[in-house]
Amino acid sequence: MLQHHIVSAEPPTDRVESSSGANKMLDPFGRAITYLRVSVTDRCDFRCVYCMSEDMAFLPKRDLLTLEELDRICSAFVDRGVRKLRITGGEPLVRRDIMTLFGSLSRHLDSGGLDELTVTTNGSQLARHAKELAACGVKRINVSIDTLDAEKFRRITRWGDLTKVLQGLDAAQNAGLKVKINTVALKGVNEGEIEPLLEWAHGRGMDLTLIEVMPLGEIDGQRIDQFLPLSLVRARLAGRYTLEDLADRTGGPARYVRVKETGGRLGFITPMTHNFCESCNRVRLTCTGQLFMCLGQEDAADLRAPVRASESNELLERSIVDAIARKPKGHDFIIDRRHARPALSRHMSVTGG
């Protein structure tokens, strides 16, 4: 278990108090920041074609935050009103000793300071970690699966083994974890598999969320050739299924429908065809301590320097306050032939998927 070394500091004078007395972070547009996504590594055991080039250069390990530093920053955000932590990567479960971080952060669930601790994973390591995740208070997880065709899965991920991922899903459900499947819609690749994926996921009691390709990082090929607007997918699905709009929100950008014929939920994440920024309640911490206030903007705040400069949290908290004050209204993602280069040079695996 991680040792907790945070030294209490006097609270900054500009703290905003919620009606319950807990610290609350508001951005310049009045949105309460209650959700932190944390990338614990940029490394992954897959090389998905829409996420990375095959020959990726990863960060030197010395540049990464230690698990103790990750715990300290996450805890500072919990102290300031964050109610949900999502651990991401790269592939978070390939980081050495990662379960000690889950075990340490679980104390915030026990204290009531945190509502949810969760993880997004490619599923490759789930078979050996599912029981321990559940023991640490994780209730639900997101697993990325873009096809149920083993050969196509290998082509999309380059290195992935679908059988291993499906074994991980079995382990997760046997451990009592609620699973949501994330599927990136890829034109000409898996667009004909949406219906089978939906019925498979709902048949196993799992939600399915479809995601549009986002223009982050250099890849092998053009994203315009991968981009499939979910507006077209939804229209096609509506011709076969009864889709009932839901007001459900899980703290993320997905908009949900109930599929009457299966009884399951289907989510749509549409950063390209429908900007979801108006209700954004999240910020993202990279594995090197850079805090991105918006996935689609370059502005970031360095939290590693204040963490390493002092055992007190005063500098860290000041950096967090200043960063939230700079959160923009939204992103400016574009995918078309005139914008052949990615909107941002950094890969999704760096920012946290």
Query: Cα 21 from chain centroid?
Result: 29
Is 120 among the annotated ligand-binding positions? Answer: yes
Indicate the residue type of 55: D
Say how many residues make up the chain: 353
Q: How many CB atoms lie within 10 A of CB 335?
A: 22
CB 227 within 8 A of CB 214: no
Q: Pick from 61, 150, 151, 70: which is nearest to 103 by CA?
A: 70
Residue that is written with structure tokens 């998905």 in the block = 48
Q: How many CB atoms lie within 10 A of CB 112?
A: 7
Is 287 among the annotated ligand-binding positions? Answer: no
Is 231 among the annotated ligand-binding positions? Answer: no
Is 74 among the annotated ligand-binding positions? Answer: no
**Phi-psi domain of 158 (left: phi exceeds 0; alpha: psi -120 through 50; beta: other):** left
Is 280 among the annotated ligand-binding positions? Answer: yes
Q: Which tokens is 285 given?
A: 């911490």
d(CA 17, CA 234): 41
Is 260 among the annotated ligand-binding positions? Answer: no
Is 37 among the annotated ligand-binding positions? Answer: yes
Is 256 among the annotated ligand-binding positions? Answer: no
Q: Pick from 177, 192, 198: which is nearest to 266 by CA?
A: 198
Is 136 among the annotated ligand-binding positions? Answer: no
Residue that is written with structure tokens 């320097």 in the block = 305
Is 234 among the annotated ligand-binding positions? Answer: no
Q: Which residues lie closer than 8 Å to 31 by C-beta, 6 or more apart? A: 279, 280, 281, 327
Is 107 among the annotated ligand-binding positions? Answer: no
∠ CA 136-58-186, rounded to 5°? 80
Is 41 among the annotated ligand-binding positions? Answer: no
Element spanning 37, H or E: strand 35-39
Residue 341's φ and ψ, nearest 5 degrees, are: -85, 155
Is 283 among the annotated ligand-binding positions? Answer: yes
Q: Pick from 69, 70, 86, 71: which is nearest to 34 by CA?
A: 86
d(CA 273, CA 151): 30
Positions at the binding site for S-adenosyl-L-methionine: 50, 90, 144, 214
Positions at the binding site: 37, 44, 48, 50-51, 86, 90, 120, 144, 180, 214, 277, 280, 282-284, 294
Positions at the binding site for GTP: 37, 86, 120, 180, 282-284
Positions at the binding site for [4Fe-4S] cluster: 44, 48, 51, 277, 280, 294
